[in-house]
Amino acid sequence: MPAQVPPEAQSIGRARGRLSASSLTTYQRCEKQWFLNYRIGLRGPLTPHQIMGIEVEDSFCSILMKRAPVANSIEELRNWAESLIEVHAKEALENGRAVFDDAMWSRGNSMNRLIWS
C-alpha cells in the first residue's frame, strides 16, 4: 500500500503525508506512474481545478485548526467562522495562481478561466 512520509521540516499536523484518493487511484491504475509521481516527484500537467482543489482543502483545514473564541451562542461561533472565509479564500486564490504560474507543466492558459467561469 503506498504511503508518504512527511518531510522532517514540516509539522505533522500540516503535512500532506496521508494516502489521498488520487494517490490510491494512481497506484491502482499504474504502479510505475505512482512511483514517478509520489516518490520521484515527476508529476504530469496540472490543471487549475487540481490546484484550486488543493488550495481550498488547505484553507478549509486551516480554518478548522484555528482555536475558536469563547462564544455565548452558536450564532456568535458561526459569525466568527464565517469571518475567516473571505481572508482564506483570497489567500487560496493567490496561492493557486502562483502555483499554476510556477508549474513546469500546466494544462490551460490561465487560472482566470477557472476563477471567473
Judged against a pLDDT cut of 50, whether residue 32 lies above it is answered with yes
What gap in Å lies between CA 81 and CA 71, rounded to an integer?
11
Domain boundaries, the chain: 1-43, 46-117
- When the pLDDT of each residue in the chain is averaged and rounded to a whole number, the result is 79
Q: Is the dihedral angle over the CA atoms 75, 77, 80, 83 positive or is it negative?
A: negative
Give the model's confidence band at 42: pLDDT under 50 very low, under 70 low, under 90 confident, else very high.
confident
Q: How do residues 96-111 score in pLDDT, each as one tens digit?
A: 988 888 876 666 555 5
pTM of the model: 0.57
Give the model's confidence band at 67: pLDDT under 50 very low, under 70 low, under 90 confident, else very high.
very high
For 106, phi then psi, to 5°, come to -140, 145
Q: Which one has a higher pLDDT value, 44 or 64?
A: 64
Calculate what percentage of the chain has a pLDDT beyond 70: 73
User: Taking a C-beta distance cutoff of 8 angstroms, is the pair 54, 14 a contact?
Assistant: no
